[in-house]
Amino acid sequence: MQTKRHPLQPSLRTGTFLPAKTLAERLGVTAPVTRRAARLIAASSLMMLALALALPAKASGPDYRTHLAGVTPFADPRQRVSSVQAPWSAIGRVQTELGSRCTGFLISPVLVETAAHCLWLTQPRHFIQPSSVHFLRAYSGDHFTAHARVIRFIVPPGYTPEQEGQSAGLDHATLVLDHPVARPDEVFHVSTKPEDIKPDMPVVLGGYEQNMPDVITADLHCHMTGLTYDKSGNLLFTHDCAGTHGSSGAPLLYQNASGWHVLGVQVLASSAHAGGQAVPLLNSASGTSEDQP
C-alpha cells in the first residue's frame, strides 16, 4: 500500500496508512500541615490559578481561523457547542498554575484523560508537579461545573516528550483528581473494542482551542481515515477533523445507539489542513504505566 506523508504539528514522520478495519488484527484482539498553613496554601494556589486563567492565549479572535495548524485555510467547520450538554459536559480544561492549558475528559468521576505532552516542561525538562495541575469541568468563559486539583498522573513508560516522533502513540496521561467531579453516568467509559472500528466511521472532535480557548469548539462532521504508527511502532488513529493547538487531550468521539464513546486522545494536528492523529483508547489489554508522584 502506498505510503502517504504530510506535515504534522508537532513533527512526526507518518508511516503506512492502513484501513481501519485491520485494527482488531493489529491489536491482537483477542509532613503534616497545620490548618492555617493548609488554608494559606489553598489560597495561594487559587490565586495562581486565577492568574493563569487570566493570561492571554497565544492567539485569539476570528482573524486566526484562516491559518491554524489542523484547520484547512478558509474552510473552518468548527462551531461552538454547549459545555453543559452531552457529550461536551464530560470535557474540561486542563489548566496549570504556570498558564499552560489543554483539553481533558472524564473517564471516571475522579480520572481525566489528556495528552502527556501538555504536562511536560521544556525547561527544566521534566513533568510538571501534579499539584500544579487543575481540571475545570465544562469550563466556559467565566464559569465551570466543577473544579479539582490533580494529586498524581500516570504516563505510559516509553513516552519521550522531546522525541514526539518516536513515541507519539504513547502521548497520553491519566490524571487522578483529589475528589469526584461527576456522577458515574456523566463520564465517558472506555468501552470501544477494536472490532467496533469501521472504515471511514463518522467521528467528532472538540476542545478548548488556540483561537477560542475559553469555549469548546468542535468539528461535528468528520471521519476516521485510517491507522499509522510512530517511529517506535506505536499505533495512532488518523482523522480528518479540524482541530488546532489547545485541542490536545480532546476525545475523538463517535456515537451509536447506546450513546457516545471514546476512540482516542487527540495529540497531533496537520500543519496545513484539517486532520490529525489520536492515541487509541480502547477496551483492550495495555501495558504498565509510570505514576508521576
pLDDT more than 90, % of the chain: 56
- Residue 191's region, left for phi above 0, alpha for psi from -120 to 50, else beta, is alpha
**Closest alpha carbon to 106 in 220, 186, 208, 217:** 186
Report the alpha-carbon distance of residue 168 to residue 44 in Å, rounded: 35
Residue 3 pLDDT? 30
- Does pLDDT of 34 surpass 80? no
Residue 277: strand pairing partners? 238, 268
- What is the pLDDT of the chain when averaged over all its residues? 80
Does the residue 75 lie in any domain? no
Q: Domain tally for the chain?
A: 2
* Same domain flag for 166 and 192: no
| Segments forming the whole domain that contains residue 219 | 188-280
Q: Kindly provide the b/e burial profile for residues 1-32, where b requires at least 16 CB atoms within 10 angstroms of the residue's own CB.
A: eeeeeeebbbebebbebbebbebbeebeeeee
Report whether pLDDT(232) > 60.
Answer: yes
What was the pLDDT predicted at 8?
53
In which band, very low, low, confident or very high, does the pLDDT at 199 lie, cut at 50, 70 and 90? confident
Q: Is residue 202 part of a domain?
A: yes
In a domain, 243, yes or no: yes
pLDDT classification of 32: cutoffs 50, 70, 90: very low
pLDDT for 243 equals 85
Percent of all residues in the chain with a pLDDT value above 70, rounded to a whole number = 74
What integer pLDDT is reported at residue 175 of this predicted model? 99
pLDDT of residue 49: 54
Write the pLDDT tens digit of every residue in 35-65: 444 444 444 455 555 544 443 333 233 444 4
Domain finish residue from 142, 177, 212: 177
Question: In terms of domains, do 204 and 115 share one?
Answer: no
pLDDT of residue 67: 65
pLDDT of residue 115: 97
Residues 173 and 199 in one domain: no
Report yes or no on 39 lying in a domain.
no
141 with 201, same domain?
no
120 pLDDT higher than 70? yes
CATH number of the domain bearing residue 171:
2.40.10.10
Domain presence at residue 50: no
- Same structural domain, 222 and 142: no
How confident is residue 74, by pLDDT bands cut at 50, 70 and 90?
confident
Please write down the long-range contacts of 257-264, taking CB distance under 8 Å and 24 or more positions apart.
259/86, 260/86, 260/87, 260/188, 261/188, 261/189, 261/191, 261/192, 261/196, 262/105, 262/107, 262/113, 262/188, 262/190, 262/192, 263/192, 263/197, 263/203, 263/224, 263/237, 264/236, 264/237
Does residue 66 lie within any of the structural domains?
Answer: no
Could you tell me if 86 and 163 lie in one domain? yes
pLDDT at 231 over 50: yes
Say what the pTM is.
0.77
Residues 224 and 255 in one domain: yes
Listed as own residue / partner, the contacts of 40-45 with beta carbons closer than 8 Å and 24 or more positions apart are: 45/97, 45/131, 45/149
| pLDDT confidence of residue 65 | 47
- 271 with 210, same domain: the answer is yes
